[in-house]
Amino acid sequence: MDRIRIVGGNELNGSIPISGAKNAALPLMIASLLTDGTLSLDNVPHLADVEQLTRILGNHGVDYSVNGRREAQGSAYARTMNFTARNIVDTTAPYELVSKMRASFWVIGPLVARMGQARVSLPGGCAIGTRPVDLFIDGLRALGAEIDIDVGYVDARAPKGLIGNRYVFPKVSVGATHVLMMAATLAKGETVLENAAREPEVVNLAECLNAMGAKVSGAGTPTIVIDGVAALSGATHPVIPDRIETGTYAMAVAMTGGDVILEGARADLLEAALEAIEQAGTEVIRLDNGIRVRRKGGVIRPVDITTAPFPGFPTDLQAQFMGLMTRAQGRSHITETIFENRFMHVQELARLGARITLAGQTAIVDGVERLRGAPVMATDLRASVSLVIGGLAAEGETIVNRIYHLDRGFERLEEKLSGCGAIVERLSE
Ligand code: UD1
């Protein structure tokens, strides 16, 4: 199994190209199930989760190509991928495929909307919290689907099609917002989604659906209104830059010091995180087509953060910010409100010498003067990259094991960091 070896202590200087967002690419790919036309997506990152979803879509009968070819040639950046769901041959998403990635559950929305039926295994994915699917089920029922749970599968049926309705999410959910928005595009009449997720990935999906002929308005606000249409067509649409990758590298620079341009990054997608980085003592310069992050000398100041749905501080940057705070001059409090059990990185950061105490949903981090390299274990996607941030500042060698988690969400991480002067390499076995 591959590992990553890091020798800490170097500043980061140079530039890092920011990839397309994994969390935007996945729902956009799933939207291809809504039409028999071709959906052409630009700037799709080359990641294990994208490959996995391609296999799942293939199982439903979706044809795909990468940069105009049937199979990927090498692993070029910013690929254009075409998806054509002309004939959906299977409306079942089996456990073997869905268990590897939670987002694949989201096929349930387009399948039931277009085909009138879907049988989708209950999801797997990162082991962070319980991650139920009650909102998806309640929401699809509100649109008229009949739903049964049958030995690990959700069976959804709407033989006469879905019917527009008003649905108020009892809790903000990115995935359930994506799914109900997609499903409602083909429902009869108007759907109003209240307390919807406002994440940039929801806006990216809504724009794509509109390019396909849907009538979606209000995405990016808590109220999304969808006027159902009879059919959608193909379209071409770009994936937005990855705000989590952007924030991760910005925090890495804040940690090591240096001066890096994050090419193609969009500051408006992660203002809450950028403000926290600035408060911690790093300069953030918003450029026309990127963000420059700079810390030359000075200390890392402690900053308290609390995760919240967009536009709040993203839970997907919580572990990385904790990594940064392990070297702050003083005490910080990091509170996680989105997922239970999203503190698995705490014990691994402690192996590098961090001093962190857990009090319920809050981690109290007492900054230390130095971290020391050690073997550590990646436990989930975002946790694993916090260990990379720790390793970049630690004295000596850090080996991060189980990096398949990293490969799910970070494109060419070792190449991007070593291009800026870090000593980071992949050890393949
Ligand atoms: C998405 C992101 C993930 C990010 C998360 C929160 C993707 C592929 N993943 O995950 O990286 O960490 O948003 O920003 O985009 N919940 C329920 N019932 C449901 C659905 C969700 O209780 O039916 C709860 C979850 O357990 C969690 C909260 O709602 O506590 C938010 O989860 P949600 O926004 O749905 O996360 P995902 O869409 O799975």
pLDDT in tens, 214-223: 999 999 999 9
The encoded tokens of residue 58 equal 């293939």
Query: Strands 12-17, 258-263: parallel, antiparallel or unpaired by DSSP?
Result: parallel
Q: Does the CB atom of residue 247 touch ligand 1 within 6 A? A: no
Asked if residues 192 and 153 have their Cβ atoms less than 8 Å apart, the reply is no
Structure tokens at 23: 């969390």
pLDDT at residue 127 in the model? 46
Q: Which residue's C-alpha comes closest to atom 5 of ligand 1?
A: 174
Confirm or reject: Cβ of 102 under 6 Å from ligand 1.
yes
Tell me which fold the domain 3-18+241-427 belongs to.
UDP-n-acetylglucosamine1-carboxyvinyl-transferase; Chain (3.65.10)
Residues contacting 211, CB < 8 A, separation 6+ = 235, 236, 237
- Which one is predicted more confidently, 110 or 127? 110
Mean pLDDT of 18-23: 97
With pLDDT > 90 as the criterion, what percentage of the chain qualifies?
A: 85
Cα–Cα distance, 311 to 181 (Å, whole number): 20
Q: Tell me the C-alpha distance between 235 and 40, whole Å.
A: 6
| Crossing angle for the helix pair 22-31 and 174-185, to the nearest 10 degrees | 20
Residue 321 CA to residue 387 CA, distance in Å, equals: 11
State residue 388's pLDDT score: 95
135 CA: nearest ligand 1 atom: 23
pLDDT, position 236: 98
Q: Are 103 and 182 in contact (CB under 8 A)?
A: no
- Domain 22-229, CATH class in plain words: alpha beta
* Residue 296: Cβ-neighbour burial (10 angstroms; 0-12, 13-18, 19+): exposed
Within its chain, how far is the Cα of 256 from the centroid?
24
Within 10 angstroms of residue 221's Cβ, the number of other Cβ atoms is 12
Q: What is the mean pLDDT of the chain?
A: 94
Beta partners for residue 235, in sequence order: 39
d(CA 113, ligand 1 centre) in Å: 22
Please name the residue that has the structure tokens 């939670």.
102
State yes or no: pLDDT of 30 exceeds 90. yes
Ligand 1 centroid to Cα of residue 175, in Å, is 6
CA angle 189, 208, 83 (to 5 degrees): 110
Instruction: Confirm or reject: Cβ of 136 under 6 Å from ligand 1.
Output: yes
Active centre residues (catalytic): 126
Share of the chain above pLDDT 70, in %: 96
pLDDT given at position 129: 46
3-state SS of 172-191 is: CCHHHHHHHHHHHHCCECEE
Quick: pLDDT tens for 318-361: 999 999 999 999 999 999 999 987 999 999 999 999 999 999 99
CATH 3.65.10.10 positions along the chain are: 3-18+241-427, 22-229
**pLDDT the model gives residue 79:** 87
Cβ-based neighbours of 346, under 8 Å, separated by 6 or more: 322, 354, 356, 358, 363
Which residue minimizes the CA distance to atom 12 of ligand 1?
Answer: 316
Cα–ligand 1 centroid distance for 49 (angstroms): 16
pLDDT in tens, 236-248: 999 999 999 999 9
Contact 227, 215 (CB under 8 A): yes
Name the least confident of 12-21, 56-65, 121-130, 258-267: 121-130
**Which residues of 310-370 form beta strands (DSSP E)?**
331-335, 355-359, 362-366
Is any ligand 1 atom within 6 A of the Cβ of residue 134?
yes
pLDDT of 116 higher than 80: yes
Measured from the Cα of 171, ligand 1's closest atom is: 29
DSSP strand pairing (423-427 vs 12-17): unpaired
Instruction: Output the pLDDT for position 126.
Output: 45
pLDDT at 78: 62
Could you give the CA distance from residue 179 to residue 193 in angstroms, rounded to a whole number? 11
**What would the pLDDT profile of 299-318 be if each residue is shown by its tens digit?**
999 999 999 999 999 999 99
The CA distance from 36 to 234, in Å, is 7
d(CA 41, CA 78): 10
Ligand 1 within 6 A of CB of 248: no
- What distance in Å separates the CA atoms of residue 358 and residue 360, rounded to the nearest whole number? 6
Pick the atom of ligand 1 nearest to 24's CA: 15
Q: Is the pLDDT of residue 123 over 90?
A: no
The best mutation among 101, 140, 169, 173 to test binding of ligand 1, ranked by most ligand atoms within 8 Å of the C-beta, falls on 173
Q: What confidence category does residue 171 fall into, taking pLDDT thresholds of 50, 70 and 90?
A: very high
Tracing tokens 């294990």 back to the chain, one arrives at 48
pLDDT at 400 over 80: yes
> Given pLDDT bands bounded at 50, 70 and 90, which one contains residue 128?
very low
Query: From the CA of 52, how far away is ligand 1's center (Å)?
Result: 19
| Cα–Cα distance, 43 to 239 (Å, whole number) | 5
The burial of 85, by beta-carbon neighbours within 10 Å (0-12 exposed, 13-18 middle, 19 or more buried), is given as: buried
Per-residue pLDDT band for 150 (boundaries 50, 70, 90) equals: confident
How remote is the CA of residue 281 from the centroid of ligand 1, in Å?
Answer: 31
Could you tell me which residue, 407 or 295, shows the higher pLDDT?
A: 295
